[in-house]
């Protein structure tokens, strides 16, 4: 379920494989029954290619009795979980994990039911008809764990560099589900064979322990040398190990120094792709080998970053980025959320839950170098500004170790350039508007400098053009591959003339399917065709062009 081992004591297994799926109408009546594999999307099942609504997944599971923890890595987009007919959990948002603990369950067979709902309504402030499809179903793995009377919920590791070497601040949160008494402690086995034991004091059945350690001779994590280390935590009760959790991290530090982004003290230059988590007819249930192939294509083209546009990604993909030294801009789930949607009574809780779950679950990935919010949200309104302030404050409460950003397309009207640590601009000259790239960006940057953004790092977070795979001719018309190459080449060569940019991120890595209802007249094939690869990862001419362009530029600002 992850790319590294997480336990030796706690028993954990993947309960994917074959499930029964019943499609349900608005009254809850069954309209169709299918035998499906989990994880998968409704839309990858023959006959459900355009399905939007509810599906009930059913599986009988055998348990040994005692306490179990069910972990859902992604259910799209709203989940209701039932065990033996009893409702035990509810979750909104396809792209963040959630879990539920069931205590004192009898040994034997139990019926697990997961109702996934992909319908759009006022109940859903983040999932709506958009320029990427909200697929339906159990799109990521499901795990069952056997846990003791207490267990380790998570461990966060924060590395910082100082004159004596590296320091790691370690925090672990433990839940005592039985509320039983006893002498509890956590033993940390750290890099360089350091061992630390911390006593626990539970308050309301939860306890947090912290320890800090200095490490003199360790390898830093970097794109060139993505060195990774494991922290092993053992939870003891009356000196007997009852649970454990392994976490992986890297000694790397991200800081802002004036208009530069420093990775371990060196200014970096970002050459990246915006990537939707989608593959052909598998939709957003992307298998590991496709994730790995995508990262081959990222690295082979000379890129050094992936932006998880526009939602938290699968942790297995982030694990692979950690291992390969690929930088990540991860962002909470939002694309073009305008004020009416921000005024949806569900918006505040839904976006804050997403930010919290993203950061709590993805905190230790060294590849993640910044957190993004509100892609092309209404940052040119006072109401929007209040929402941005609130979300940036929430991020800083959860993680002080990473800079923040937000991709703006409000250019000369934006009221929020003073809020993020890094200024990010989505620009589409030569595609959506006939502007000369250099002059257009220079004018936006003048406005940014006069309106709160002066002296901050600047990234071009989106630019690009559409190209239909296989459409080539001599007249270089829009939507042809040669035209796509021409626009990308002109923009990148102009952006390279700015010696104070911190990088650029191409829109987009691969074509992706949209919600059928989204602007069909401007999106041939109901796809966003600005990928340099098609939905099957077949390269367009633009993939070879961007590879040459990325190859021209180093990874570090001079
Ligand atoms: C915006 C948006 C992207 C995509 C792009 C496009 O910049 O952030 O998600 O929709 O436009 O292709 O128009």
Does 511 contact ligand 1 (Cβ within 6 A)? no
The whole-number average pLDDT for the span 53-57 is 98
Check whether 74 has a pLDDT greater than 90.
yes
Q: Which atom of ligand 1 is nearest to the CA of 131?
A: 10
Does 462 contact ligand 1 (Cβ within 6 A)? yes
105 — pLDDT class (breaks 50, 70, 90): very high
380 — pLDDT class (breaks 50, 70, 90): very high
Please name the residue whose Cα sits nearest to atom 7 of ligand 1: 426
Check whether 291 has a pLDDT greater than 80.
yes
Does 275 contact ligand 1 (Cβ within 6 A)? no
Does 335 contact ligand 1 (Cβ within 6 A)? yes
Does 274 contact ligand 1 (Cβ within 6 A)? no
Instruction: Tell me, in angstroms, the distance from the centre of ligand 1 to residue 271's CA.
Output: 18
Q: Which atom of ligand 1 is nearest to the CA of 432?
A: 13
* Cβ–Cβ under 8 Å, residues 332 and 387: no
Q: Encode 90-124 in three state secondary structure.
A: EEECCCCCEEEEEEEECCEEEEEEEEEECCCCCCC
Q: What is the DSSP letter of 252?
A: -
**What pLDDT is attached to residue 160?**
97
**What pLDDT is attached to residue 515?**
96
- Quickly list H helices, 45-175: none
Check whether 1 has a pLDDT greater than 90.
no
* Cβ–Cβ under 8 Å, residues 79 and 134: no
The whole-number average pLDDT for the span 35-53 is 98
Q: Which of 249, 252, 247, 248 is nearest to 223 (CA)?
A: 252
* Cβ–Cβ under 8 Å, residues 328 and 369: yes
CA atoms within 13 A on the CB side of 417: 24
Q: Which of 552, 524, 530 is nearest to 542 (CA)?
A: 530
**70 DSSP β-pair partners:** 100, 144
* Cβ–Cβ under 8 Å, residues 398 and 361: no
**92 DSSP β-pair partners:** 78
d(CA 57, CA 70) in angstroms, rounded, equals 15
Tell me the two tokens of residue 35: 């035998």
* Cβ–Cβ under 8 Å, residues 505 and 460: yes
**What pLDDT is attached to residue 558?**
73
Q: Is the peptide bond before 30 cis (omega within 30 degrees of 0)?
A: no
Q: Which atom of ligand 1 is nearest to the CA of 428?
A: 7
Does 69 contact ligand 1 (Cβ within 6 A)? no
d(CA 490, CA 487) in angstroms, rounded, equals 5
Does 375 contact ligand 1 (Cβ within 6 A)? yes
Query: Would the pTM count as exceeding 0.85?
Result: yes
Please name the residue whose Cα sits nearest to atom 3 of ligand 1: 131
Check whether 266 has a pLDDT greater than 90.
yes
**217 DSSP β-pair partners:** none
Check whether 519 has a pLDDT greater than 90.
no
**What pLDDT is attached to residue 180?**
75
Q: Mean pLDDT of all residues in the chain?
A: 97
Q: Which atom of ligand 1 is nearest to the CA of 376?
A: 8
Please name the residue whose Cα sits nearest to atom 9 of ligand 1: 131
Among 275, 277, 376, which residue has the most ligand 1 atoms within 8 Å of its CB, making it the best to mutate?
376
**What pLDDT is attached to residue 388?**
98
Instruction: Tell me, in angstroms, the distance from the centre of ligand 1 to residue 473's CA.
Output: 26
Does 113 contact ligand 1 (Cβ within 6 A)? no
The whole-number average pLDDT for the span 311-340 is 98
d(CA 116, CA 277) in angstroms, rounded, equals 19
Q: Between vectors from CA 377 to CA 375 and to CA 380, what angle results, nearest 5°?
A: 135
Instruction: Tell me, in angstroms, the distance from the centre of ligand 1 to residue 132's CA.
Output: 9
Instruction: Tell me, in angstroms, the distance from the centre of ligand 1 to residue 462's CA.
Output: 8
Handedness of CA 494, 496, 499, 501 (dihedral sign): positive
Q: Which atom of ligand 1 is nearest to the CA of 508?
A: 12
The whole-number average pLDDT for the span 127-146 is 98
Check whether 373 has a pLDDT greater than 80.
yes
The whole-number average pLDDT for the span 183-195 is 95
Does 463 contact ligand 1 (Cβ within 6 A)? no
Instruction: Tell me, in angstroms, the distance from the centre of ligand 1 to residue 465's CA.
Output: 10
Q: Could you read off the pLDDT of 194-230 as tens digits, one per residue?
A: 999 999 999 999 999 999 999 999 999 999 999 999 9
Check whether 394 has a pLDDT greater than 80.
yes
The whole-number average pLDDT for the span 304-328 is 98
Instruction: Tell me, in angstroms, the distance from the centre of ligand 1 to residue 320's CA.
Output: 26
Does 528 contact ligand 1 (Cβ within 6 A)? yes
Instruction: Tell me, in angstroms, the distance from the centre of ligand 1 to residue 472's CA.
Output: 24
Does 421 contact ligand 1 (Cβ within 6 A)? no
d(CA 55, CA 30) in angstroms, rounded, equals 9
Instruction: Tell me, in angstroms, the distance from the centre of ligand 1 to residue 387's CA.
Output: 21
* Cβ–Cβ under 8 Å, residues 55 and 33: no
Does 515 contact ligand 1 (Cβ within 6 A)? no
Q: Which atom of ligand 1 is nearest to the CA of 132?
A: 9
**What pLDDT is attached to residue 517?**
87
Does 331 contact ligand 1 (Cβ within 6 A)? no
The whole-number average pLDDT for the span 158-174 is 96
**DSSP string spanning 434-474?**
---HHHHHHHHHHHHHHTT-TTS-EEEEE----B-TT---T
Q: Which atom of ligand 1 is nearest to the CA of 375?
A: 8
Does 530 contact ligand 1 (Cβ within 6 A)? yes
d(CA 290, CA 339) in angstroms, rounded, equals 37
Does 426 contact ligand 1 (Cβ within 6 A)? yes
């Amino acid at each position: 379920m992850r790319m590294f081992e997480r336990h030796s004591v706690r028993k954990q297994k993947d309960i994917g494989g074959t499930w029964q799926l019943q499609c349900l109408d608005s009254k809850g009546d069954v309209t169709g029954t299918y035998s499906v594999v989990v994880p998968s999307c409704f839309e990858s099942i023959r006959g459900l290619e355009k399905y939007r609504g509810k599906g009930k997944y059913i599986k009988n599971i055998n348990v040994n009795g005692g306490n179990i923890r069910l972990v859902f890595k992604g259910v799209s987009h709203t989940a209701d979980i039932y065990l033996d007919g009893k409702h035990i959990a509810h979750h909104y948002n396809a792209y963040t994990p959630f879990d539920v603990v069931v205590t004192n369950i009898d040994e034997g067979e139990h019926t697990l039911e997961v109702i996934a709902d992909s319908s759009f309504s006022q109940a859903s402030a983040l999932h709506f008809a958009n320029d990427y499809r909200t697929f339906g179903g159990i799109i990521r793995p499901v795990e069952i764990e056997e846990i003791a009377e207490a267990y380790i919920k998570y461990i966060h590791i924060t590395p910082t560099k100082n004159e004596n070497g590296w320091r790691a601040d370690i925090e672990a949160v433990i839940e005592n589900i039985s509320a039983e008494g006893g002498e509890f402690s956590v033993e940390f086995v750290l890099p360089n064979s350091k061992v630390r034991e911390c006593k626990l004091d539970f308050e309301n059945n939860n306890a947090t322990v912290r320890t800090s350690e200095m490490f003199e001779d360790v390898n830093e994590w970097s794109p060139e040398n993505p060195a990774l280390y494991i922290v092993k935590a053992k939870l003891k009760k009356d000196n007997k190990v009852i649970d454990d959790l392994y976490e992986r991290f890297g000694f790397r530090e991200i800081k802002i120094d004036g208009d530069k982004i420093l990775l371990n003290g060196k200014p970096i230059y970002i050459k990246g792709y915006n990537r939707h988590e989608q593959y052909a007819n598998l939709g957003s249930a992307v298998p590991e080998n496709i994730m790995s192939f995508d990262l081959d294509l990222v690295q082979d083209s000379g890129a050094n970053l992936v932006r998880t546009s526009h939602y938290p990604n699968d942790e297995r993909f982030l694990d692979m980025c950690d291992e390969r030294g690929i930088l990540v801009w991860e962002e909470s789930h939002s694309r073009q959320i305008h004020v009416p949607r921000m005024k949806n009574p569900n918006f505040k809780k839904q976006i804050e839950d997403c930010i919290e779950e993203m950061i709590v679950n993805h905190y230790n990935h060294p590849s993640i170098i910044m957190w993004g919010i509100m892609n092309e949200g209404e940052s040119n309104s006072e109401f929007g500004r209040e929402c941005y302030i609130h979300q940036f404050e929430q991020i800083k409460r959860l993680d002080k170790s990473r800079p923040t950003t937000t991709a703006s397309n409000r250019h000369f009207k934006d009221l929020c350039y003073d809020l993020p640590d890094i200024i990010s601009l989505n620009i589409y000259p030569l595609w959506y508007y006939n502007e000369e790239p250099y002059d257009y960006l220079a004018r936006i940057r003048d406005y940014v400098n006069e309106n709160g953004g002066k002296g901050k790092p600047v990234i071009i977070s989106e630019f690009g053009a559409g190209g239909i795979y296989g459409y080539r001719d001599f007249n270089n018309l829009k939507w042809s591959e040669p035209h796509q190459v021409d626009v990308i080449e002109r923009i990148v060569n102009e952006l390279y003339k700015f010696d104070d940019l911190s990088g650029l991120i191409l829109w987009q890595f691969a074509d992706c399917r949209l919600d059928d209802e989204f602007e069909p007249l401007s999106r041939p094939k109901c796809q966003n065709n600005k990928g340099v690869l098609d939905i099957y990862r077949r390269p367009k001419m633009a993939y070879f062009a961007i590879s040459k362009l990325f190859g021209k530029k180093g990874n570090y600002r001079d």
